[in-house]
Structure 1
Amino acid sequence: MINAKLVTCGLCQSYYADPRQIPCSHSFCFDCISGRFNEETLTLICPKCEKLHQYKSVEEFHNRCMRDGFLASMVTQFKRSQSRSSATPSALSSRPPSSFSHTSTILSSTPIPRIRAQEIDINNHDQSGSERSTPSVFNQQRPSSVAQQTTTRALIAKCQSCNIRGELIVCSHCDNAICTKCADEHQSVINSDVKREWDLCKTQFETINEKSTRFDQNEEEVNNKARSLQTFISKQSGKLIQTVEHHKNTYIDIIEKHLRTYKQSSAHEQVVDEYESIDKRVGELFKSADITTDKISDFLFEIEHLEGRLDSLNKILDSSQLKFPLLTLPEQVNISSLFGTLQFAQLNTESPTCDQYSLPITNGYYDSQIKSEDEDYVVIGSSNHNHFKNILSNPIEQLSSLSSISNIPKKKLLWQIDYFSVPYYVRTYGNQLFICDKYGSLAIYKLSKANDIRQKPSLVREIKLFKDFSTLTATDDDQTIIDSFVVYKLWIIVFKRKKNELHGTIYLFTHDGKPIHKGKCIHNYPSRELTMDTEKNILWSLDQKQLCLFYYVLPDTEPTNHEEYFQNRHSHVQFSKPFAPIHISVNKNALAVLDKNRQAVHVYDKKTKQELYEHVNIYGNSTHFCWDMALFSDNSLLIKLDEMSTLKSGPSKHIYLQLDTTKKHNIIGTIEETDAYGMMITTTDEILIGVRINTKGIVKCYI
């Protein structure tokens, strides 16, 4: 039998009607607990443990009041047992005396002897004991006065719990005969058993529920990976078809050119026609009586000319060897060598032979590229996919791009200035040019007028940014680097972090390089790069962990609390795996994000957040790695390609390609540099590039 207290609501004291469990694991009728919910403050205080629960809306409160199916089934079972009990009474008070002998046979510890008539003493037993309340778990509800019911007889025997002889009642749950003094203790034991079983059930439910939730999340990730692979296979198939079509047309053109060469070199038909013409006219001359000196001279000239052509043709025929084209067919092509072998692997496991995600994220380039945090080059990992790279990389694209770069106009060098350190960051604002290295060595130059980059700027001052920050230790420069350096209306903003971490500290300086009072803000977001939109006073930021593009709205006037502006960030564009954002560039209307994995630049409209276009690096993708890019005012791109063979051995070589705005993104300008670092495009589309020369550097301006 089920204890009635287990199926009784603590608020309405009735059986549970639609039992619901709140977050603290206590259950009540849904109508009862809904009455305790405060719709104004959206709070609920548990009537049992007094724990405060806060909700975001009424709908969330309804959703988080989970239906307690276990209690609902207990209520149903209890009501069913009650209906059976009312049809067949089981209380000892209504049993005939002869039934006691049967009861004694089920006692386990102390057998109750067969009851004789003289052992039933109704008038002499303790009346107060009969009036004591007993738990609902027992099916015997004793009357207030046993003497008033002359037909009722009580059971006098030893209690199975305390082993003391007295008036007993029978537990309807375990059928044990227990005295009224031990009833409360016995009920608490039963309640403890029920609570223990329920706790075990809840623990099992929470474990399975967590596992189910994790399964759903992993399923979504697997679906995303599968869709990415489908997209890659479609693109790769198109590239293979284009490559085959190009080779077909190339071979046909070569053969046609070969045939035309033989036809032009021999000219056999022309010689035959000339010979037959002269032979016919010579025969007519011999038959004619009118033979003049002029006619003879003309024929001798023609014969001499024909002899010369015959000598030339004879030499060509003797020296030339007729060659016909042959096509050596390859061995039987295994389709898996073109697309790779399709496998299915468990999530978060690595294949011993290849990475199952290497295909969709590398776009034909299968070596892993990793940017070192404390070094200025790309680390190229070893790869087992050389045979795939040789087959799938497009040699026609490479041949028609970087190998023919000499035919493309080079950007004009307008001026260059010296800098006393390595120019990692080059920025302009108004009539000032700012150049900074990774540790805070700043040089400020003055332009002839605002945003006039065409005239060579003049040096104003050279300063150390962090010498006035007393909180910095002497070893900070050895442990931290400047990750981002931007300038806007009010401040110079510097984001500084440790080499092995993505979070750090934001420092604010005046345009003269002096620290702002209380201009130090802890920045706990894993930002990869900060980029300033000077027209809108918006600071853009990449979060590499959340794969999201965020922005901060900065003030127009000097605020009293600087830190609050760097705590409130707003989401703008959300990326999905395996997108790996590393650089941002902005102009008046658009912003661009570089995906390191796919070597792709995504250009978005700043207002609508819609993607305007995507450019995937196809220019020498097996020899050059796209590491940076910038936007011109017309939304065209400047991409920086690093030659991978030079990144670890000696000076690094770089190629800058200016692409037009057509769908093919044709190359319209180039720059070649060595050991180049900082790069920016001004508002008037001049290109500024910082170049290292030993431990110092120069900044060049191209147009």
Structure 2
Amino acid sequence: MTANHRPLSIIARCALCSIKAELFVCSHCDKVICQICLDKHQLQLNEILKEQWGLCKTKYLNLYHLSDNHAKEMVNVENEMDRIRLLVNQRYTDLVNLIENEKNNVLNNIEENIQLNSSNVKHTDLQHLFDSIGQRLNNIFDLSPMKPTSISDIFGELQWNIARMSNPILTRSSIIDSRSLNSKLNGSMSSETNDEFHEDGTITSEKPTSMSVMQRQKQWTLDAAGVPHFLCILSKKNHLLFACDKYGSIDLYQLDSNEPRITPRHLRQFELFPGNTTSPQPLIIETFTVYTPFIVVSAHLNDQADTSSIYFFDHRGLKQADTCLQNFPVRQLSADVSCKCLWGIDRHQHLVYYNQLPMNVQQIPNCIEHREDFIKFTRNFEPIRIAQNQTSIAIIERNSQRAQLFDKRTKKKIDEVENLLRSKGIFRLWNVLVIGVVGPRMMLRDDNSMVLKLDEELPPNSRPPSINHLILELDSQGLPVSQIERISVYGLVLGPNQEILLGCKKHQQNGLIECYI
């Protein structure tokens, strides 16, 4: 280390050693010292610098060795991870093969047992079976009013009257009792049970179905912010589930398109009418439907149920176009993408109508302003719910408790299902879904199978804390194939894998979404 010291042209005593000598100003400490003290000071500084430099070199070497060790350890970790990954994949493959083999063995054993049992069935076994069914029917119909009963007690055997429209003569409802079951077994069905005589002498054969149905099992449950009054599924890249309460609060979920047992993933929550839930005079949503690109709702104020307003929103809840005022109560709206129309029910006019389905914001006013009547019914026919597939539309009538199916193109009635349980004062028919495989374009198959929602029949002005419901699935022949028993059911929709999703009330202001397969 070198430094230029400022010499002084005086001789005086050094500030450090007090010896008279020529003095210099030290550039390091700015003291006036002699040459000897200056050299000593310089030597001390050099020693300090060497010591600090040695410490720096030592720390650098330590860090270098530590980094090198970490690099070697990382290589070992990666090698171990690769080994574990290969081991897991191998064990996974072995386990899948083992399960597949065991499944095949079990299926083969089941098939062998079925064939063995089928070959050993005797006539006496059938006799005992039908006697048991008859006894259960007698027990059901003889239930005492004072005895508490459950839904299963009443609906162990379900009975439906299916009237195919290929026969133009509508038959009366009838119920097969235990005696008719025994007479069927013995091959001696009486004409009073088997046939119905009409005044014009025409005989029509009618055989209502009596059979036990499968109880669907619950797979998963989701908590919802509001009570899910409306459930709709939209197919885009994935299947999206919209759950909306009567105030317009929406929970959006993503369903697994291949496995219904997997719980959906919650995407977001939004409100169509912000602040509506806490408003002293809220808007009440009457109907809710979703298609690409809009959410469509019909709503009215709590004290103005004789009129409706139709609102269009995008899928994030942002309002599109102006409100479409209607001078009649819109009972239901159903978007039909295949026919490019928006189906609706006019309660005042007792008719089912349709509008052209708007595909952009500019088309909304004109499409809603112009409507076409599909079917206008008489004054004693009150349509309350509709469901549709590609070729047919199902309409529920409130008074007769029938679900009637009409051809969309010809408007002819092609089928009818009657709720015989209403006549017993047990359940009333309230909602219907036309079953179909929800594919990439949300298309429904055309076999006219359906899901019915039955609500417990209540005395007038009664307000029980909960209401019993029966969700019944009918095949294309109108025969019950599965059912769900649940209380406080509001929303109802069919999933992409034929699972049934229910929106249920949990508490006064929130609810659940349940999946049954």
TM-score when normalising by structure 1:
0.41
2:318 to 495, 504, 514: 514
Structure 1 counterpart of 2:417, from 610, 615, 618? 615
- Structure 2 residue 428 is matched with structure 1 residue 625: yes
The letter for the 1-side match of 2:272 is: L
CA distance in 2, matches of 1:560, 1:439: 27
Per the alignment, residue 470 of structure 2 pairs with: 655
Q: Which residue of 2 aligns with 1:438?
A: 246
Tell me: CA distance 1:448–1:571, structure 2 relative to 1, closer, same or farther (3 Å).
same
Counting aligned pairs with the same residue, the percent is 28
Q: Which digits, 9 at most, give the CA deviation of each residue in 1:395-439, with x for residues without a partner?
A: x97xx85xx7xx421123333221011110011112321111111
Match for 1:504 among 308, 315, 334? 308
Partner amino acid, structure 2, of 1:548: L
For 2:449, the aligned partner's letter is S
| 2-structure distance, mates of 1:683, 1:605 | 24
Is this contact kept in 2: 1:680–1:688, CA < 8 A? yes
Q: 1:629 & 1:526 partners in 2: Cα distance?
A: 20
User: What residue is the counterpart of 2:335 in the other structure?
Assistant: 532
Q: Which residue of 2 aligns with 1:412?
A: 217
Contact between 2:229 and 2:244, CA under 8 Å: does it hold in 1?
yes
Q: CA deviation at 1:618?
A: 1.6
CA offsets 1:43-71 (integer angstroms, 9 cap, x no match)? xxxxxxxxxxxxxxxxxxxxxxxxxxxxx
Cα distance in 1 for partners of 2:428, 2:224 equals: 27
Distance (Å, rounded) in 2 between the aligned partners of 1:474 and 1:619? 40
> Is 1:702 the equivalent of 2:516?
yes
After superposition, the Cα gap between the structure-2 partners of 1:637 and 1:251, relative to the gap in structure 1 and judged at 3 Å, is closer
Structure 2: distance between partners of 1:582 and 1:251: 40
Partner amino acid, structure 2, of 1:545? H
Cα pair 1:584 1:591 within 8 Å, conserved: yes
| Map 1:666-681 → 2, pairs under 5 A | 666-681=479-494
Shift in alpha-carbon separation, 1:587–1:571, aligned structure 2, 3 A: same
CA contact (8 A) 1:509 1:519 kept: no
Contact 2:466 2:488 in 1 (8 A): yes
Q: 2: distance between equivalents of 1:598 and 1:457?
A: 38
Asked if the contact 2:328/2:348 (under 8 Å) is kept, the reply is: no
Alpha-carbon offset, residue 574 of structure 1: 2.2
Deviation at 1:683, TM superposition (A): 5.6
| 1:239–1:590 distance in 2 versus 1, CA, 3 Å | closer
Alignment check: 8 A CA contact 1:489 1:537 kept: no
Determine the C-alpha separation between the residues in 2 that align with 1:678 and 1:235: 33
Question: Is the 2:270–2:316 contact (alpha carbons within 8 Å) kept by the matching residues of 1?
Answer: no
Shift of 1:510: 1.1
**Judging changes above 3 Å, is the alpha-carbon distance between structure 1 residues 702 and 503 closer, same or farther for their aligned structure 2 residues?**
same
CA 1:581–1:251 in structure 2 vs 1: closer, same or farther (change >3 Å)? Answer: same
| Shift in alpha-carbon separation, 1:521–1:411, aligned structure 2, 3 A | same
Runs of 4 or more, structure 1, over 6 Å off, are 250-255
Shift of 1:249: 4.9
After superposition, residues 391-406 of structure 1 pair within 5 angstroms as none
Secondary structure of the corresponding residue to residue 361 of structure 2:
coil
CA contact (8 A) 1:493 1:509 kept: yes
Question: C-alpha distance in 2, partners of 1:429/1:254?
Answer: 49
Structure 1 residues 16-35: Cα deviation after superposition (integer angstroms, max 9, x where no partner)? xxxxxxxxxxxxxxxxxxxx
The 5 A counterparts of 1:78-477 are 238-239=172-173, 249=180, 407-430=212-235, 431=238, 432-448=240-256, 455-467=262-274, 474-477=279-282
Q: Displacement, 1:250?
A: 7.0
- Conservation of the 8 A alpha-carbon contact between 1:540 and 1:552: yes
What pairs up with 1:17-32 in 2 under 5 angstroms? none
One-letter amino acid of the counterpart of residue 476, structure 2? T
What CA deviation, in whole Å up to 9, does each residue of 1:318-339 have, x standing for no partner? xxxxxxxxxxxxxxxxxxxxxx
Match of 2:290 among 461, 482, 487: 487
Give 1:235 deviation, angstroms: 6.6
Root mean square deviation of aligned Cα: 3.4
Structure with greater helix percent: 1
Amino acid at match of 1:416: T
1:553–1:452 Cα change, 3 Å:
farther
How many pairs are equivalent? 314
Pair 686,589 (structure 1): closer, same or farther in 2 beyond 3 Å: farther
Structure 2 Cα separation of the partners of residues 254 and 668 of structure 1: 23
Q: Are the aligned partners of 2:403 and 2:416 in contact in 1 as well (CA < 8 Å)?
A: yes
| Cα distance in structure 2, aligned partners of 1:676 and 1:485 | 16
Residue 649 of structure 1, CA deviation = 2.5
Change (3 A) 1:421 1:563: same
Q: Cα–Cα, structure 1 residues 559 and 253, in superposed 2: closer, same or farther, change >3 Å? A: closer
